[in-house]
Amino acid sequence: MIDPLTLLAFIPAALALNATPGADMMLCLAQGMRSGSRSAWAASAGISVGSMVHVMVAGLGLGAVISAFPWAFDVIRWLGIGYLLFLAFQAFRGGATKTKGDGMNPWRAFRAGFFTNLSNFKVIWFVLAFVPQFVAPDAGPVFLQFLIFGGLIAIGGFFVNGLVGVFAGTLGARLVRSGRVLGYVTGGIYTALAARLAIME
Q: What is the pLDDT of residue 101?
A: 41
pLDDT digits (tens, 9 = 90+) for 71-107: 766 776 787 788 778 878 877 876 544 434 445 789 9
Mean pLDDT of the chain: 79
Give residue 30's Cα distance to chain centre.
12
Please give the model's pTM, rounded to 2 decimal places. Answer: 0.74
Give the pLDDT mean for 145-149.
88
Dist. CA 141–CA 164, nearest whole Å: 35
Q: How far is CA 111 from CA 9, 34, 66, 141, 156, in A?
A: 32, 16, 24, 31, 19
pLDDT at 46: 96
Cβ atoms within 10 A of the Cβ of 184, count? 15
Q: Which residues, in sequence order, are CB contacts of 145 under 8 Å at separation 6+? A: 2, 59, 134, 135, 136, 139
Least confident of 40-54, 102-116, 181-195: 181-195
Find the angle CA(24)-CA(7)-CA(65) to the nearest 5 degrees: 55
What is the rounded distance in angstroms from the CA atom of residue 54 to the CA atom of residue 142? 15
